[in-house]
């Protein structure tokens, strides 16, 4: 009788474990599908961009219809606000981590819009995860309002490690950027 109870308990535990594993896979698949796709490729050259401080924690400048941003030693920072030149923008970004990339292999990149009252509002379905492995990656954000200003936020979920890198945003409607420093 004791043996039968042990077998039944083991069988019940196995059924429970398999059902939870199935739920977990669905949750992971659903979460990953909520991120915008990231495509390997693109290039970033920030040399010669007027007004861009290569050593700053976050520095942004616009030139020739593109916003350039460099970031050094950050965990969570935003670009300046920019006005898109069309309803679709392409972001090319490249970053490395101060950690072994296997510890925290990616960072979050999300899009925010400035509201009429000057506050930042998250643009739903406009987030992605980007590898912090030193390679360039391209992301397309669509459905933007060219009369609005937007910013990108970089988030690295760690209290110990930092990101260093650069990104570009194009096309821009204007080379005038609005600083977010007052928000932070």
Query: In the CATH hierarchy, which fold is given to the domain comprising 39-170?
Result: Jelly Rolls (2.60.120)
30, pLDDT greater than 70: no
Per-residue tokens: 20: 């939870």
144, pLDDT greater than 50: yes
Higher pLDDT, 83 or 102: 83
DSSP track, the chain: -HHHHHHHHHHHHHHHHHHHHHHHHHHHHHHHHTSPP-EE------TT-TT--TTSSEEEEEETTEEEEEEEEESEEEPPBB-BSSS-EEEEEEEEESS-TTTS-EEEEEEEEE-TTS-EEEEEEEEEEEE-EEEEEEEEE-S--TTS-EEEEEE---SS--EEEEEEEE-BS-S--B--TTT-
Q: What is the pTM of this model?
A: 0.79
Neighbour count for residue 158 (Cβ, 10 Å): 15
Most confident of 31-40, 52-61, 92-101, 174-183: 52-61
DSSP state of 142: -
What are the backbone dihedrals phi and psi of residue 20, each rounded to the nearest 5 degrees, phi first? -70, -40
27, pLDDT greater than 80: no
Query: pLDDT tens digit string along 50-93?
Result: 999 999 999 999 999 999 999 999 989 999 999 999 999 999 99
**Taking a C-beta distance cutoff of 8 angstroms, is the pair 148, 100 a contact?**
no
């Amino acid at each position: 009788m004791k043996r039968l109870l042990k077998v039944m308990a083991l069988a019940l535990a196995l059924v429970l474990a398999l059902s939870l594993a199935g739920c977990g896979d669905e949750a992971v698949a659903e979460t990953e599908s909520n991120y915008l796709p990231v495509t390997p490729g693109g290039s970033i050259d920030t040399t010669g961009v007027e007004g861009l401080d290569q050593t700053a924690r976050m520095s942004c400048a616009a030139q020739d219809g593109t916003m350039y941003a460099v970031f050094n030693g950050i965990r969570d920072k935003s670009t300046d606000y920019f006005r898109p030149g069309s309803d679709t923008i392409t972001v090319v970004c490249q970053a490395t981590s101060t950690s072994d990339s296997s510890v925290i292999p990616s960072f979050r990149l999300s899009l925010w819009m400035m509201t009429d009252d000057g506050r930042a509002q998250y643009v739903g379905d406009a987030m992605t995860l980007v590898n912090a492995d030193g390679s360039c990656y391209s992301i397309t954000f669509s459905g933007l309002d060219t009369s609005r200003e937007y910013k990108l936020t970089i988030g690295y979920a760690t209290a110990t490690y930092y990101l260093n890198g650069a990104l570009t945003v194009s096309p821009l409607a204007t080379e005038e950027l609005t600083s977010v420093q007052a928000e932070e």
